[in-house]
Amino acid sequence: MYAQLIALDWGTTSLRAYRLGADGQVLEQRSLACGVMQLPTGGGTVAGHATESGFELAFDEACGDWLQAQPGLPVIACGMVGSAQGWVQAPYCPTPARVADLSQAMIRVQTLAGAGLHIVPGVIQHSRLPNVMRGEETQVLGLLQSLPIDTRDETLLVGLPGSHSKWVKLAAGCITHFDTFMTGELYAAACAHTILGRTQEPGGAFDGAAFDQGVAVALSSDGDIGPLSTLFSARTLGLTDQLSGAAQPDYLSGLLIGHELRSLAEVLRARNKSAALPEVVLIGSDALCERYHRALHACGFPCVNVAAQATERGLWSLALAAGLVSL
Amino acid sequence: MYAQLIALDWGTTSLRAYRLGADGQVLEQRSLACGVMQLPTGGGTVAGHATESGFELAFDEACGDWLQAQPGLPVIACGMVGSAQGWVQAPYCPTPARVADLSQAMIRVQTLAGAGLHIVPGVIQHSRLPNVMRGEETQVLGLLQSLPIDTRDETLLVGLPGSHSKWVKLAAGCITHFDTFMTGELYAAACAHTILGRTQEPGGAFDGAAFDQGVAVALSSDGDIGPLSTLFSARTLGLTDQLSGAAQPDYLSGLLIGHELRSLAEVLRARNKSAALPEVVLIGSDALCERYHRALHACGFPCVNVAAQATERGLWSLALAAGLVSL
């Protein structure tokens, strides 16, 4: 079947490539370990041209054959490929941002193989403490396309757990506000590079009870003192034989995610001037979404759904808005 | 001058040795890089006996000559040397703990050179989230000895900044409660092992303005969202040219210390059922005490003093209470 678009989700560590047909249907997909921070090195040849560029080589590996089979196919990419460390910098669009804003601000790169690559900009929020994202904006807009058309103007909170989790408010089809938590990256650093890792026995299956215990501590009055202090309990509960080494990683994960959601709920209540918490849609890996789902439930968020195929849908709708493809 | 006691402050990374005369006067002191986690390896000879023990070798290096010159001198040590990873485990004393409790619970090790080494136990608080310390209890009790005798029964808050900062409440000459914050160790992990380090230019002189800016953010309404989120501003203020790479390390330091003190102040106010914050005495390195002094002031703590020679004084008073020395 003929494709209409090649869509790339090009992040820090991985590059996912999609060949999309009519209506954005996924015809084929690939995943390569060619993120912006681990590009191919040593040079090579692309379409008969010698090149030292890791971006050219990774691009060719991801979709060179697709382009050869169907020359002239439009290509679109989101993620860190548009950052200062990326192929070409696609400057951030400010909030409020909608599909039209992002599609108009895409940056075109001419590749060695002759294809034009359209890079989606990230989004910046010029709050007193500024906030930025790259890639998540595309996922959020893809989610929007998957909603029933008469609900797309409603206000929605989208959670994107990861190294840096993002909490994005959608209103009237527009990204109006977002927050970042470095929970995932701090968790990894605490396990690998602090005393907490020394008593952990990692590698076991997910320990839901230990995770829930960590969440409960963060949400309890014991959590009032904040994560910089409660973290130490992952060690002291071990020293006092109340938490096994095997349970410590998931306890710590629950503790940190619990603190993230407790703080998020507090600022949402203050911003919305309401004790009620909004419904949440999660976008992310199954394993992370399961953790956040449990913790959101414990924290009192009323309804949590998980969205699929958000990136492909977002890239398709941006390509549509830019006129790269048509319905 | 004849000594009365050899006192060792034997921590994770360093070993400080003091030769103390009458009234605990410091006659001589040494600092060795022979902490519990970096003991001499490869074996050696102590007092004519071959040994593989890194503890014996470090002990000999620290005070073997002092003991040879004055055989039979009592020796006392505090810190991680009494932990599970130490020479001999000196089980924790529970709170409330005073000098008499700790001196009675010391553990004696017979060394190869013939000396008896008395190891001070740490302190454990059996709260729902347990808390432990080793070494800080000795410093706090040493501080107590330096206070005018008619004030030693007053309630006092002692701050011991470090990799793990401790906040210890003294009441009626007794350690009644304490909290731990992993601020220092998390700061080091965040700088060395997260994206925040990538844009930092470390190595400059202390940037007080950047530090104070970080503290102010943590204490402001922007800090309501907690450290897991505000941390990211060390990056985004850089991306938006509002914070230089050289200023980022001290901004981050101020941000984390500010969050620590904000949380501490909140729990103190709740525990004491009073908006008033207590006076604080700090024990620690000059550089860290300067940072905490600035941040405590910004946070509204009324009066902050810095104590000197707390460890030597604490070891002396514990040796006195145990009858190892006399007045």
Interface ipTM: 0.95
- Tell me how far CA of residue B122 lies from CA of A119, A246, B40, in angstroms: 58, 26, 24
pLDDT score, position B1: 78
Whether residue A186 sits in one domain with residue A108: no
A171 is a domain residue: no
Cβ–Cβ gap B132/A182 under 8 Å? no
Q: How many domains does chain A have?
A: 2
pLDDT, block means (10 residues), chain A with 327 residues: 95 95 96 94 93 96 96 96 95 96 97 94 98 97 91 91 96 96 97 95 95 98 98 97 98 98 97 94 95 97 91 97 93
pLDDT score, position B152: 87
Q: Sorting pLDDT into bands at 50, 70 and 90, what band is B207?
A: very high
- Asked if residue B327 has pLDDT above 90, the reply is no
Whether residue A244 sits in one domain with residue A129: no
Whether residue B110 sits in one domain with residue B185: no
pLDDT score, position A137: 97
The mean predicted confidence, pLDDT, of chain B is: 96
B193-215 as b/e: b if 16+ CB within 10 A: bbebbebbeeeeeebeebbbbbb
B146 is a domain residue: no
Cβ–Cβ gap B228/A227 under 8 Å? yes
B271 is a domain residue: yes
Domain that holds residue B291: 181-306
pLDDT score, position A304: 86
Where are the strands (E) in chain A, listed by range? 5-10, 15-20, 26-32, 44-46, 49-51, 75-78, 93-94, 107-110, 116-119, 123-125, 131-133, 156-160, 165-171, 174-181, 280-282, 304-306
Its pTM stands at 0.95
Q: Sorting pLDDT into bands at 50, 70 and 90, what band is B285?
A: very high
Which CATH number belongs to the domain containing residue B219 in this structure? 3.30.420.310
A164 is a domain residue: no
What integer is the mean pLDDT of B125-140?
97
pLDDT score, position B153: 85
B210 is a domain residue: yes
The residue among B102, B134, B166 that closes a domain is B134
Instruction: Looking at the complex, report in whole angstroms how far the Cα of residue B163 sits from the nearest Cα belonging to chain A.
Output: 10
Which CATH number belongs to the domain containing residue A70 in this structure? 3.30.420.300
B254 is a domain residue: yes
Cβ–Cβ gap A228/B227 under 8 Å? yes
B30 reaches A (C-beta below 8 A) = no
Which has more confidence, B150 or B211? B211
B253 reaches A (C-beta below 8 A) = no
B326 is a domain residue: no
Whether residue B213 sits in one domain with residue B302: yes
Q: Counting beta carbons within 10 angstroms of the beta carbon of residue B222, is it exposed (0 to 12), middle (13 to 18) or buried (19 or more)?
A: middle
pLDDT score, position B304: 86
Cβ–Cβ gap A193/B195 under 8 Å? no
When CB atoms are compared, the residue of B229, B240, B259 closest to A228 is B259
Instruction: Looking at the complex, report in whole angstroms how far the Cα of residue B235 sits from the nearest Cα belonging to chain A.
Output: 9
Which segment of A146-155, B208-217, B284-293 scores lowest on mean pLDDT?
Answer: A146-155
Which has more confidence, B84 or B315? B315
A198 reaches B (C-beta below 8 A) = no
What integer is the mean pLDDT of B260-265?
98
When CB atoms are compared, the residue of A182, A217, A262 closest to B129 is A217
pLDDT score, position A113: 87
The string of pLDDT tens digits covering residues A152-199 is: 888 899 999 999 999 999 999 999 999 999 999 999 999 999 999 999
- Asked if residue B266 has pLDDT above 90, the reply is yes
pLDDT score, position B41: 93
What integer is the mean pLDDT of B249-255?
98
pLDDT score, position B318: 97
